[in-house]
Amino acid sequence: MIEQTEEEKKAAAEKKEQEAAAAEDKKTQAKVDTTTEIIAKAEAAAERLEKANETLEKNMEKQARLRVEEMLGGTTEAGAGEKKEISDEEYAKKVMANDIEGKEPTP
């Protein structure tokens, strides 16, 4: 049998320790990489949300201005009045006079 000397035993033990430390470093680095990726994704998502909020705010301001213009310009639907329905006799008279607007008589 070949016996290992003390130095060889120490060298083998050191090598095992280094390999274990290297494996631990790889695990730690993988965790750091994963954490970094998650942080990067979160930051990108936050930027997209900020841009979407800015766009939404601009659109809301535009909509408010349009409502004000409609109210001041008199183009709202309020007070537009109801359509007048005509009787069959009135419709017949209009048809005979060729004064029809595309309204069919009610059956």
Taking alpha carbons only, the member of 102, 81, 17, 24 closest to residue 94 is 102
Where exactly are the structural domains of the chain? Answer: 9-75
Band of pLDDT at residue 106, cut at 50, 70 and 90: low
Per-residue pLDDT tens digits for 28-84: 887 877 888 889 999 999 999 999 999 999 999 999 999 988 888 865 565 566 667
Contacts of 86 (CB under 8 A, 6+ apart): 94, 103, 105
- The C-alpha atoms of residue 106 and residue 85 are separated, in whole angstroms, by 9
Taking alpha carbons only, the member of 17, 13, 21 closest to residue 5 is 13
What burial class does residue 97 get, using C-beta atoms within 10 Å of its C-beta: 0-12 exposed, 13-18 middle, 19+ buried? Answer: exposed
